[in-house]
């Protein structure tokens, strides 16, 4: 007998018929003798419907009120799942964020969970009930309704699992798990059986959109084992957990890519302290998020190059700022490219294995792909390349690192 | 400067465009220097949409969970109205039932309000904000969400007005006010300018479905003046208030009718103590609500007649029970009629004016309408007649009592 938290996402609860499928899976887990807390998202399409209403009401809907509106989606789902479970003869109660004190800060639309009242949930479990919880929502100190951002129900599930010290947190979704790369561009892509939190964080933030990044941070912080799996069949998915000794055997876990990249380089600017600060102050004042930043000395004495990447949407504004500052600072040139991609290799094994970087660069070179920028972290190497080479780069890296064999 | 509670019903908030109309009215009231609390219902059709989902999920949805589901309708409306008001530049906050402690008992689907936290609302009003409240919902002692039944937002508005000791409670609806009778069957029907709580209660429970009965009881108990008016134009509606001396000048305020009536008579049953009890025990065990009950001595010595009315839906079951008990009790006959109507004259003036009953009976007799049953209260006389005479009865009574002249 275990204590399990399950989370079902939007496509798993697209209509009432799907709720019945979810209920059957919940009941099966319960009848295996487990205590069970089930977190649900809004029905597929519901959040978009509510957002449309909000933008009809105002082009810039008030943050606080938008959260009150959006929270109804998960509230309805939790009630419907409880109704279905009850009609199948199982004792159940649904709970909203404020009812089990999913406490958050007051950052409407992207609130962070600060606490969960485990005692209330334990009391229901002791009564033999299945507890259904509306995901995505919480309550701030003043009693206002808050929401956790897209994918926030993942974080709700992990936070509850952490508060209850649950044995397992299962995230049911419409994919089979986390893959070594996107199967739609690389036929050898392979489901990863076990992956560490750190790797998952790098994978998620780099575009493998399976779990909300914040939920992985939460799981890592509290040591919650997360099982990402499909709600449409019975197969095992991917276990996200503490790094294990075995994992280091696998040097690279996956190849991810992000095609929403643009690159600007301010070339040959007179090198003196503070030029980078001047420049990035201006960029951040325009509310633009910069990803990679590289500053290098130029070949010409006393000159430097500053290059950075931003998302394509921020490209025009960033370019304007760069051009104006380049003039001011006396830079010789501004190079701008807006069709870029970032390719990343992720793996905890990199910590103890050398040679990943050189193999990556060599593989790309062999395909004639020019590397425009490089950045590295402890468990990740990223290269910026021309976007048109994305698929080629992903496939050849995936093959070069033998990811098609699987790591399980 | 006054403190005003306004309530807007489903058709007033049928779509986002209508929310803008409501917002304009709210702002106008606010700009006249008033403090303002606005209670909203679910958007027209939303409650039915949610009920459909619930019945898809289960033929008998769990009461507690159904309330969680239905409460989302008013939650969404309150957020949308707040978004619109905010976008028009007005400080505003929406509140749900649990947030301003609209405390209720635990009768899901028909909960009764037991308290409202006025202090929280006052605090917002002092800050200069418009307070928008989700109608129809509350919270029981254990923190469960409850709903107040169809029309419950009326009661929310009146309860808040009572708690705040508001100067006025305006109920905006899709009719112009309370009429002397249904304008669609009597062209002389006239809007009533002022009506007492008692009369309104008799009118409402008899089928003039303008205000939830419970909201009128609440208004009466706490002396809240209610103004029922149209949300589609500016005209004055009907003021529901304490009985005033003037009102007694008007003997009869209105004629109401209810065509959902059936009548069963157990005739010539041996008269001994307890026969009525035996009979109505059996009826109430079958969960059937009996309206009028009349017991009379029969012309034959030692025999009695018992007659009662029920709604048509309860007719078949009631008839079976009546037939079985009639046999048991040795009654000579069971008379059953399922196409009946109840016509009622309502007016506080009846208290001090005699002759209303005889004029009513005489009017019906003149039209050749046979009276099957009569019941009276202090301010009401009801007659049961064949349903086919309903319109004729209403029109002739309306004329006989000169209601077409209006009482304002």
* Tens-level pLDDT at each residue, chain B (408 residues): 899 999 998 789 999 999 999 999 999 999 999 999 999 999 999 999 999 999 999 999 999 999 999 999 999 999 999 999 999 999 999 999 999 999 999 999 999 999 999 999 999 999 999 999 999 999 999 999 999 998 899 999 999 999 999 999 999 998 889 999 988 889 899 899 999 999 999 887 665 578 888 899 999 999 999 999 998 888 999 999 998 877 667 788 899 999 999 999 998 888 877 777 888 888 888 888 888 888 887 777 788 888 899 999 999 999 999 999 899 888 889 999 999 999 999 998 888 777 888 899 999 999 999 999 998 888 999 999 999 999 999 999 999 998 987 544
Taking CA atoms, what residue in A is nearest to B47?
Answer: A76
Contact state of A57 with B16 under an 8 Å Cβ cutoff? yes
Q: What is the pLDDT of residue A278?
A: 83
User: What's the gap in Å between the CA of B132 and the closest CA on chain A?
Assistant: 11
Taking CA atoms, what residue in B is nearest to A69?
Answer: B76
Which segments of chain A belong to CATH 3.40.1160.10?
Answer: 3-174
Cβ neighbours of B66 in A, within 8 Å: 79, 83
Contact state of B86 with A50 under an 8 Å Cβ cutoff? no
Cβ neighbours of B61 in A, within 8 Å: 83, 86-87
Task: Give the nearest partner residue to B79 out of A65, A94, A96, using CB atoms.
Answer: A65
Taking CA atoms, what residue in B is nearest to A70?
Answer: B76
Contact state of B68 with A82 under an 8 Å Cβ cutoff? yes
Q: Give CA torsion, residues A324, A325, A331, A336, to 10 deg.
A: -70
Cβ neighbours of B76 in A, within 8 Å: 50, 53, 69, 72
Task: Give the nearest partner residue to B86 out of A65, A72, A94, using CB atoms.
Answer: A65
Task: Give the nearest partner residue to A57 out of B53, B87, B96, using CB atoms.
Answer: B87
Task: Give the nearest partner residue to B83 out of A65, A78, A93, using CB atoms.
Answer: A65
Contact state of A50 with B76 under an 8 Å Cβ cutoff? yes
Q: Is the confidence at residue A258, as pLDDT, over 80?
A: yes
User: What's the gap in Å between the CA of B273 and the closest CA on chain A?
Assistant: 46
Which segments of chain B belong to CATH 3.30.2130.10?
Answer: 255-405
Helix ranges (H only) for B32-151 are: 46-57, 63-87, 118-126
> Rounded CA gap, A201 and B131, in Å?
42
Taking CA atoms, what residue in A is nearest to B72?
Answer: A72
Cβ neighbours of A87 in B, within 8 Å: 57-62
Distance of CA B39 to the CA centre of its chain: 18
A271 or B33: which carries more pLDDT confidence? B33
Scan for tokens 């040795």, then name that residue.
B330
Q: Is the confidence at residue A110, as pLDDT, over 70?
A: yes
For residues A148-160, average pLDDT: 94
Q: Residues B303, B271: contact at Cβ < 8 Å?
A: yes
Pick the CATH number of B3-174 from 3.90.550.10, 3.40.50.150, 3.40.1160.10, 1.10.460.10: 3.40.1160.10
Contact state of A56 with B94 under an 8 Å Cβ cutoff? no
Read off the pLDDT of residues A305-362 as tens digits, 9 standing for 90 and up. 889 999 999 999 999 999 998 998 888 899 999 999 999 999 988 887 778 888 999 9
> Rounded CA gap, B112 and B103, in Å?
8
> Between A and B, how many CB-CB pairs are < 8 A?
109
Pick the CATH number of A255-405 from 3.30.70.870, 3.30.70.20, 1.20.1090.10, 3.30.2130.10: 3.30.2130.10
Q: Which residue, among B172, B350, B189, B174, has the nearest Cα to B256 in the 3D structure? A: B189
* Chain B residues contacting A via beta carbons under 8 Å: 16, 19, 50, 53-54, 56-62, 64-66, 68-69, 71-72, 75-76, 78-80, 82-84, 86-87, 93-94, 96, 98-99, 143, 145
Contact state of B83 with A75 under an 8 Å Cβ cutoff? no
Which tokens in the block code for residue B185? 């069957």
Q: Residues A225, A239: contact at Cβ < 8 Å?
A: yes
User: What's the gap in Å between the CA of A154 and the closest CA on chain B?
Assistant: 22
User: What's the gap in Å between the CA of B144 and the closest CA on chain A?
Assistant: 8
Q: What would the DSSP string read from start to end of B158-213?
A: HHHHHHHT-SEEEEEESSSS-BSS-TTT-TT--B-SEEEHHHHHHHHHTT-TTS-H
Distance of CA A357 to the CA centre of its chain: 25
Q: What is the pLDDT of residue B208?
A: 59
For residues A294-301, average pLDDT: 77
Cβ neighbours of B80 in A, within 8 Å: 53-54, 57, 65, 69
User: What's the gap in Å between the CA of A53 and the closest CA on chain B?
Assistant: 7
Contact state of B71 with A75 under an 8 Å Cβ cutoff? yes
Task: Give the nearest partner residue to A69 out of B50, B79, B86, using CB atoms.
Answer: B79
In this structure, the strands spanning B194-196 and A293-297 are unpaired
> Rounded CA gap, B346 and B343, in Å?
10
Cβ neighbours of A131 in B, within 8 Å: none
Q: Phi, psi at residue B14, to the nearest 5°? A: -70, -30
Cβ neighbours of B101 in A, within 8 Å: none
Cβ neighbours of A65 in B, within 8 Å: 79-80, 82-83, 86, 94
For residues A110-126, average pLDDT: 95
Q: Sign of dihedral through CA atoms A13, A15, A16, A17?
A: negative
Read off the pLDDT of residues B374-389 as tens digits, 9 standing for 90 and up. 988 889 999 999 999 9
SS3 A364: helix
User: What's the gap in Å between the CA of B244 and the closest CA on chain A?
Assistant: 43
Which tokens in the block code for residue A139? 């309550």
Cβ neighbours of A106 in B, within 8 Å: none
Beta carbons within 8 Å of A236's beta carbon, 6+ residues apart: A177, A193, A227, A229
Q: Residues A262, A292: contact at Cβ < 8 Å?
A: no
Cβ neighbours of A19 in B, within 8 Å: 57
Q: What is the pLDDT of residue B408?
A: 41
Taking CA atoms, what residue in B is nearest to A63?
Answer: B83
Instruction: Please report, in angstroms and rounded to a whole number, the separation of the first and last CA atoms in chain B.
Output: 26
Cβ neighbours of A61 in B, within 8 Å: 83, 86-87
Contact state of A16 with B84 under an 8 Å Cβ cutoff? no
Distance of CA B251 to the CA centre of its chain: 22
Q: Sign of dihedral through CA atoms B32, B36, B39, B43?
A: positive
Task: Give the nearest partner residue to B54 out of A57, A65, A83, using CB atoms.
Answer: A83
> Rounded CA gap, B8 and A69, in Å?
18
Contact state of A76 with B69 under an 8 Å Cβ cutoff? yes
Read off the pLDDT of residues A184-235 as tens digits, 9 standing for 90 and up. 889 899 899 999 999 999 887 665 578 888 899 999 999 999 999 998 888 9
Contact state of A72 with B68 under an 8 Å Cβ cutoff? no
pTM for this predicted structure = 0.85
Contact state of A83 with B66 under an 8 Å Cβ cutoff? yes
């Amino acid at each position: 007998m275990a204590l399990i938290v399950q989370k079902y996402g939007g496509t798993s609860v697209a209509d009432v018929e799907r709720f019945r499928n979810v209920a059957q899976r919940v009941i099966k887990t319960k009848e295996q003798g487990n205590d069970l807390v089930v977190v649900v998202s809004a029905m597929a399409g519901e959040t978009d419907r509510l957002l449309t209403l909000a933008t009809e009401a105002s082009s810039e809907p008030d943050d606080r009120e938008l959260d009150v509106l959006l929270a109804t989606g998960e509230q309805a789902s939790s009630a419907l799942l409880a109704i279905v479970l009850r009609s199948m003869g199982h004792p159940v109660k649904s709970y909203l964020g404020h009812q089990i004190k999913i406490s958050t800060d007051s950052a409407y639309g992207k609130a962070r969970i600060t606490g969960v009242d485990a005692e209330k949930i334990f009391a229901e479990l002791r009564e033999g009930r299945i507890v259904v919880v509306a995901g995505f929502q919480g309550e701030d100190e003043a009693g206002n309704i808050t929401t956790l951002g897209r994918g926030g129900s993942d974080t709700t599930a992990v936070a509850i699992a952490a508060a209850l010290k649950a044995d397992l947190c299962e995230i049911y979704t419409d994919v089979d798990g986390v893959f070594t790369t996107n199967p739609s561009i690389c036929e050898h892509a392979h489901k990863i059986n076990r992956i560490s939190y750190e790797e998952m964080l790098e994978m998620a933030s780099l575009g493998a959109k399976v779990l909300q990044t914040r939920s992985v941070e939460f799981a890592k912080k509290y040591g919650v084992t997360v099982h990402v799996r499909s709600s449409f069949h019975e197969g095992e998915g991917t276990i996200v957990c503490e790094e294990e000794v075995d994992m280091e055997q696998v040097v690279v876990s996956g190849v991810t890519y992000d095609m929403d990249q643009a690159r600007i380089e301010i070339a040959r600017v007179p090198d003196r302290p503070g030029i980078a600060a001047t420049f990035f102050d201006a960029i951040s004042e325009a509310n633009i998020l910069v990803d990679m930043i590289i500053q290098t000395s130029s070949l010409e004495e006393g000159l430097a190059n500053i290059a950075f990447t931003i998302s394509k949407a921020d490209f025009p504004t960033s370019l304007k700022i760069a051009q104006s500052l380049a003039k001011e600072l006396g830079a010789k040139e501004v190079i701008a490219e807006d069709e870029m991609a970032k390719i990343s290799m992720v793996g905890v094994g990199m910590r103890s294995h050398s040679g990943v970087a050189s193999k990556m660069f060599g593989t790309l070179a062999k395909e004639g792909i020019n590397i425009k920028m490089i950045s590295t972290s402890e468990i990740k190497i990223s290269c910026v390349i021309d976007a048109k080479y994305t698929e080629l780069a992903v496939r050849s890296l995936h093959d070069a690192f033998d990811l098609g064999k699987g790591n399980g």
